[in-house]
Amino acid sequence: MTTATIWIVIIGLGIGTYLIRFSFLGLIGGRELPEWVLRHLRYVAVGVMPALITPLVIWPDATGGEPDPSRLIAALAAFLVGIKTNSVVGAIVAGMVALYGIQYLLN
């Protein structure tokens, strides 16, 4: 790739990102959204977090893409604590403690 191609891609992606954000913030940022839109927006985090975490649990790069029992157990611990306490921070801490604890015991 040439330097010019790289800069064209970077500038194009920057403009695209700006336009996507402007469409929400600039065009409808000062308006009141309907209740049904606000209701649906509440579920964005619930959908994004599992989408980010699931590949890291099922196909972790650290193990060459093979499922790892310690990561599966840590995900289960985080899930159970999250369901029981409704606390995102509690679920993250439980998952971290379970993952590092199991890896410490296995190694």
CA distance 20 to 27: 11
User: Could you give the number of structural domains in the chain?
Assistant: 2
49 and 73 both lie in a single domain: yes
- Mean pLDDT over the full length of the chain: 90
pTM score, two decimals? 0.62
Query: For residue 94, what pLDDT is reported?
Result: 96
66 and 43 both lie in a single domain: yes
54 and 68 both lie in a single domain: yes
84 and 51 both lie in a single domain: yes
Q: Which residues contact 91 (CB under 8 A, 6 or more apart)?
A: 78, 79, 81, 82, 85
23 and 38 both lie in a single domain: no
Q: How many CA atoms lie within 13 A of 16 on its CB side?
A: 6
Residue numbers of the domain that contains 52? 34-106
Lowest average pLDDT, out of 1-15, 19-33, 62-76, goes to: 19-33
